C-alpha cells in the first residue's frame, strides 16, 4: 500500500511551494482532474484597484448577486513592493460552487469581455472595497474555465 493521500471535494484548489530539499515535485501523472461543475474565473486589474485591500494575500468569501446567493471565493495577492497607485496589472481569481456559472451550451471556456462581465455580474452586491477590482479589470485578460 502506498502513502498517497487524496483530497476529494468540489472546490478548485491552488498551491504554491517554495523549492527546497523537502519539496516533492509532482509529475503530471500524479495529478487527477475531475469534472465537478465548479468553475474558476480569473482576470487582471491595475494595482490601483487593490488600494482599498492593501498589500498581502486576501481571501474573501461571499455570495453571488443572483437569487440563490451561491458561494463565491476570491483570492488576490498584492506583493509588498507593489505601488498601489500603479498601472501594473495584478491577477485575481475566484472559484464558485458547482452550478453557479451556467453554460447552457456546454461551453465553460468563456474569455474576454463575456467573462469580465460575468465577474461583475456575480459580484454586483459585494462590498464597495472589492468593486474596483472588477470595474477596472482588463476585459481582454478575463477567462473562465
Where do the domains of the chain lie? 28-144
Q: Between 2 and 77, name the one with better pLDDT.
A: 77
**What is the arrangement of strands in the sheet containing 89-96, beginning at the earlier edge strand?**
56-63, 71-78, 89-96, 40-46, 143-144, 110-111
Judged by phi (left if over 0) then psi (alpha if -120 to 50, else beta), residue 82 lies in beta
Tell me the C-alpha distance between 97 and 44, whole Å: 22
Segment 49-108, tens digit of pLDDT: 999 988 988 888 888 776 567 888 889 989 888 889 889 999 999 887 777 776 656 666
Amino acid at each position: 500500500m502506498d502513502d498517497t493521500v487524496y483530497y476529494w471535494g468540489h472546490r478548485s484548489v491552488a498551491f504554491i511551494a517554495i523549492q527546497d530539499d523537502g519539496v516533492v515535485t509532482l509529475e503530471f501523472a500524479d495529478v487527477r482532474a475531475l469534472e465537478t461543475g465548479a468553475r474558476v474565473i480569473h482576470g487582471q486589474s491595475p494595482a490601483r484597484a487593490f488600494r482599498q485591500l492593501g498589500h498581502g494575500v486576501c481571501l474573501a468569501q461571499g455570495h453571488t448577486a443572483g437569487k440563490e446567493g451561491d458561494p463565491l471565493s476570491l483570492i488576490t495577492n498584492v506583493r509588498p513592493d507593489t505601488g498601489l497607485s500603479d498601472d501594473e496589472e495584478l491577477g485575481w481569481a475566484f472559484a464558485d460552487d458547482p452550478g453557479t456559472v451556467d453554460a447552457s451550451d456546454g461551453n465553460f471556456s468563456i474569455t474576454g469581455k463575456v467573462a469580465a462581465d460575468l465577474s461583475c455580474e456575480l459580484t454586483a452586491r459585494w462590498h464597495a472595497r472589492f468593486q474596483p477590482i472588477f470595474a477596472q479589470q482588463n476585459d481582454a485578460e478575463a477567462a473562465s474555465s
